[in-house]
Chain A
Amino acid sequence: MNGNNEPIIHIENIHKRFGKVHALRGVSLRIQKGEVVVIVGPSGSGKSTLLRCINRLEEYNSGKIVVDGIPLDSAQNINAVRQEIGMVFQSFNLFSHMTVMDNLVLAQKIIRKRSKDEAHKVALDLLKKVGIPEKINAYPSQISGGQQQRVAIARALAMNPRIMLFDEPTSALDPEMIKEVLDVMMALAKEGMTMVVVSHEMGFARAAANRIIFMDEGQIIEEAPPDQLFSNPRHERTKRFLSKVLDH
């Protein structure tokens, strides 16, 4: 351990196959505490798969991932790591049989062993933070997609994670709801949360990211700070991709 230089997420030479498809081909990545990393790339490039490997929702065939000093190798370690990582999904995945409040309280009680009052207080504070304290007793089906995604972010934050993973958090949202979710993410980034975001929101990437990772065909092609990557990409494939997503 060499103090502050030790990355909070250390990915080394990950390979992942889905049957015949070689989804990740030797990906290595180090992410420092407090960094905001946005992963971009065409669909099928393996960016979501890589993100899901970090909390082992996806098993990988070979390679090594160490999160906050804990290697992802035993069931016990995987659960320990998951408790330190919050995950936000494209399809929100709120527990549909529970109210917003119960969604936020459940894991706090089971995993963090918080009392009911304490968990409620944490939940309410977070709902205020994401701007929807009035929806506390609503069911997921009764609120909009943008509100559901903000609740999902609050649910992940209620576990006091050290890292947040976002898997295309705005892709399932109507255009007018995207901003409310991105605002919450932006606020988180400013607070110094370590974030790994898979997204097509280039505006967010430009404004919030310390680093952009461009992936294609299961490999990291290029990584650079946003200014550099957007204005001066080095690789031909990066140029082609950016010309498609930026020119409109």
Chain B
Amino acid sequence: MLKFILRRLGISFLVLWAASLLIFVLTINAGDPLADLRESNAENRESLMALRTEQMGLDLPWYERYWEWLSGVGGCFTGSCDLGTTVNGANVLDLTAQAAGSTLRLVTLATLLAIVVGIAAGIVSAIRQYTGFDYGVTFLAFLFFSLPVFWAAVLLKEYGAIRFNDWIASGDMEPPMILGFALVAAAIIPAVLGGPWRRRLYTGAATFTFVAVLLYVLNVLDWYRNPFFGLAMVLLTSLGAAVLVTALVAGLGNRRVLYAALTTAVVGTLSYLVFAGVLLEPTWLQLIGLFVLAIVVSIAIGAAWGGYARKQAMFISAVTGVITSGVIVFDILVAHWAGFLELKSRPISTIGSQTPNFSGDFWESVLDSGMQLILPTIVLTLVSVASYSRYTRSSMLEVMNQDYVRTARSKGLSERAVITKHAFRNALIPITTIVAFDFAGLIGGAVITERVFGWKGMGAMFQEGLDRVDPDPVMAFFLVTGTAAVLMNMLADIAYAYLDPRIRR
């Protein structure tokens, strides 16, 4: 394996080098770096042009300019990295670090969400092949896939930001809005659950009533402006998640696993009380520490309950622990919402990754940057979800029709065990490649999203560099995205070995 990785690294390095040469030459020939000066009628235009020519080395042949860049990058191996400067005199290394940071923040959540939602939608639509739900998912997948990002972003800003902000000023849901939401829920949930028409009709009616009443009650309570969640709800949600995860992965018949998960949920909720002081005004480090602690404790609980199903119990406990932590954070954020609204009466901005000069406490600042993450994340997720759900569906369908799945069924295994244990894992193999590629692509490919939402990420750096025919930022962009692509590919290969026993050596 090590030899394989090393060989892959060696080849990737050569590929990166050759590509860097190509990109460099293409970039410096992409336009006229003096264009803005040529149309200027400043008196010392000539000397300004001469200065920039000297600064950017425009009078040098391309290979000398490339060599200068390459030797600067070569310095990274000896600890004196120099990625050059932009036309505006900014240090490209610092710029890249900042841009990469902001892009990662943007892309990570979107990728995770897309994986979860996309794969879930894919599996369900494969299981419910040729039903209304399947057609619905297919339709939406193609719709999202062909969505022009800039257009979707403008629409999202209009409805997700401007109209939402107008609405939250009163936080009052009109009856047509409530009925609309209830109808949508009533259409989706029976389709997912399936069953004969009568059952669907009942589930649909129940869902409709439930959602409508719920929204109405929330409205009466002015919940949207002054939301409240509470410890009881945290416990209830965590327990619900524990049961759901167990039901999906191990089956409720496995009592040991179920008890492990339930214990985790209870312990997690109790720990909320214990750490309440820290959680109210934490630092990021404390928060991460607590999260790690939560996972460790969850795994320990799983191990203690586990018995014959130790491994599974540990896994499910850990997942429950993560979900419980999430629910706790959600509760804290909900509690801070009213205060946040007071600081920022229009909670979702159309531009920027945070509100300038925002003066809230820790959680209010989290809410502020979280709100700013919502719209771009939706855009990026929609596009990725589309392809993931299609790939998962087809690969799942293929696996489901294989002989060994029929064998598993004829052994008398439950449908859940067949799907999650036998089919799903094998269906994942092709998806890994796509996810890895996609993540690498998103780092550099979120150009339009970043621009439209005013995030200064890798895409913006690339675009500005190219606009001004300034090779240094473009090359820095290439270095990061190129390396990410290579690394992600390798990770996919390693994940293959893990997922597919046939190529494990």
User: Do A and B form a real pair?
Assistant: no
